[in-house]
């Protein structure tokens, strides 16, 4: 008796293989979308932080907490403090700076969903 077709076991194995392949593909797609979203957030946060940094450089003053124009839901916090390092005598001579001349500026940008992005730099105390 010659039968053509597949046995139940062959159909179940083929279905399991297809199911596993679909599961892996969907997980990879979801991971890629998450990375794209984080990349977009990072680019937007960097743009906001640069705008704030340029504003500080132009005006010479540190702004208070603010919501940047054109970026609803985003928050910016700027902190200023003295630089927490010691220059060697040679570096101080080369740069013509004393420790009291330096300040550290930190811009923290918070996205609407709560992710924080931080940009810090050291500059002369006078702005």
Residue 81 forms part of a structural domain: yes
28 pLDDT band, cuts 50/70/90, is: very high
Residue 2 forms part of a structural domain: no
pLDDT at 81 over 80: no
CA proximity to 104, closest of 83, 78, 79: 83
Strand order in the sheet with 75-82: 75-82, 102-110, 116-124
The whole-chain average pLDDT of the chain stands at 77
Residue 3 forms part of a structural domain: no
pLDDT at 56 over 80: no
SS3 at position 7: coil
Render pLDDT for 106-125 as a digit per residue (tens, 0 to 9): 888 888 888 888 887 777 65
3-state SS record for 59-117: HCCCCCCECCCCCCCCEEEEEEEECCCCCCHHHHHHHCCCHHHEEEEEEEEECCCCCEE
Q: How far apart are CA 102 and CA 100, in angstroms?
A: 6
Residue 1 forms part of a structural domain: no
Residue 91 forms part of a structural domain: yes
Tally of domains in the chain: 1
Full residue range of the structural domain in which residue 51 is found: 8-124
Check residues 5 and 94 and name the one with the higher pLDDT.
5
CA 95 vs CA 24, 85, 109: distances in Å: 55, 15, 30
């Amino acid at each position: 008796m010659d039968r053509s077709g597949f046995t139940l076991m062959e159909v179940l194995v083929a279905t399991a293989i297809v199911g596993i392949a679909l599961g892996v593909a969907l997980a990879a797609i979801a991971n890629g979308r998450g990375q794209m979203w984080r990349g977009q957030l990072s680019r937007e946060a960097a743009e906001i932080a640069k705008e704030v940094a340029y504003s500080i450089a132009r005006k010479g003053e540190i702004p208070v907490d603010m919501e940047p124009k054109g970026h609803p839901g985003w928050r910016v916090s700027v902190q200023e403090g003295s630089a927490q390092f010691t220059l060697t005598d040679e570096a101080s001579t080369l740069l013509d700076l004393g420790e009291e001349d330096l300040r550290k500026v930190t811009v923290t940008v918070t996205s609407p969903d709560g992710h924080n992005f931080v940009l810090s730099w050291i500059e002369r105390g006078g702005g």
